[in-house]
Every structure is written in structure tokens, then in C-alpha cells.
């Protein structure tokens, strides 16, 4: 496989411009992200809690760079900090262009934990985000 097509995963956190981001803007972000990411063969998850975003993006390096360049410039958030970028063998979010964990009282603690600890252990945060989705599918 050419190096440019090898899979990578980016994990980043950022701070929402408006802490209480309206649910509608979140829905808009998700809809556009899902559409663009499917086109670009990107997959991932987006969590939001207490005015902070956590996002995982998986795909080819070039496609990730293009998406990250757009995302960094988006005025709906700031302080975009990439906490991990590394090659991966398999996608963890293969079935979603972009998916969000449902913000319910049951999920809230899990979402907060992922965002709080993403700097310490990004891989564990990715696994925990995937667990949250599995949990809500099963619920």
C-alpha cells in the first residue's frame, strides 16, 4: 500500500466557542462532517461535554490533513490540541462517517471521563469512546 493511503488516527480536543453549544449547531456539525467524511473515506466520533470537544478521525494521511485544516479554522471552537496521531491497522469507527455519543444522564459521566483523560492516555480514550457507542446501541 502506498504510504499516502496508510491508515492513521488523529485524536484531538478543543474548546467550544459557545460553552452551551446549541444542539442544533451540533446537529449541523455532525451532518456536514458525516457527508464530507464519507466522501473522503474518513471515519470517527465526536463527543461534547461542558464546552469541550473530543474528536477521533481515521483515514489516509492526506485526507486527515485536509479535514484538520478545515476543522482548525472553524470559529465554533478554539485551542485545537492534537493529543495523538499515529498509524493504525484497523479503524475503530469503521461504520460511521462521524457519529456522536448521545448525551444522556447515563452517558454523561463516561463522556466527561473520556474528555478529562484524553491527554493522559489517548488510546484508552478512543477505546472508551467506542465503548460508549456500543453501550448506547445495546441500550
Ligand X SMILES: Cc1cc2nc3c(=O)[nH]c(=O)nc-3n(C[C@H](O)[C@H](O)[C@H](O)COP(=O)(O)O)c2cc1C
Site string for ligand X, 16-45 (x = CB under 6 A): -------------x--xx--xx--------
The one among 74, 79, 121, 131 contacting ligand X by CB under 6 A: 74
Residue 100 · residue 114 · CB < 8 Å = no
Please tell me the distance from the alpha carbon of residue 89 to that of residue 5, in angstroms, as a whole number. Answer: 12
Does 84 sit near ligand X (CB under 6 A)? no
Comparing C-alpha atoms, which of 5, 14, 8, 13 is closest to residue 85? 8
Residue 3 · residue 34 · CB < 8 Å = no
Residue 101 · residue 139 · CB < 8 Å = no
* CB closer to ligand X out of 48 and 107: 48
* CB closer to ligand X out of 46 and 126: 46
Does 49 sit near ligand X (CB under 6 A)? no
Does 56 sit near ligand X (CB under 6 A)? no
Burial code of 3-13, b = ≥16 C-beta within 10 A, e = fewer? Answer: eeeebbbbbbb
The one among 98, 111, 125, 133 contacting ligand X by CB under 6 A: 98
Does 111 sit near ligand X (CB under 6 A)? no
State the residues that interact with ligand X by CB under 6 A: 29, 32-33, 36-37, 46, 53, 55, 57, 67, 70-71, 74, 76-77, 98
Amino acid at each position: 500500500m502506498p504510504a499516502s493511503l496508510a491508515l492513521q488516527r488523529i485524536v484531538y480536543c478543543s474548546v467550544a466557542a459557545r460553552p452551551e453549544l446549541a444542539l442544533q449547531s451540533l446537529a449541523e456539525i455532525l451532518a456536514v462532517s458525516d457527508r464530507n467524511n464519507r466522501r473522503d473515506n474518513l471515519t470517527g466520533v465526536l463527543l461534547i461535554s461542558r464546552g469541550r470537544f473530543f474528536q477521533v478521525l481515521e483515514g489516509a494521511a492526506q485526507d486527515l490533513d485536509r479535514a484538520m485544516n478545515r476543522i482548525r479554522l472553524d470559529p465554533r471552537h478554539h485551542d485545537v490540541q492534537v493529543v495523538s496521531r499515529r498509524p493504525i491497522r484497523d479503524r475503530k469507527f469503521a461504520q460511521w462517517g462521524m457519529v456522536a455519543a448521545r448525551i444522556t444522564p447515563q452517558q454523561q459521566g463516561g463522556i466527561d471521563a473520556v474528555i478529562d483523560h484524553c491527554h493522559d492516555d489517548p488510546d484508552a480514550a478512543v477505546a472508551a469512546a467506542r465503548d460508549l457507542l456500543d453501550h448506547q446501541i445495546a441500550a
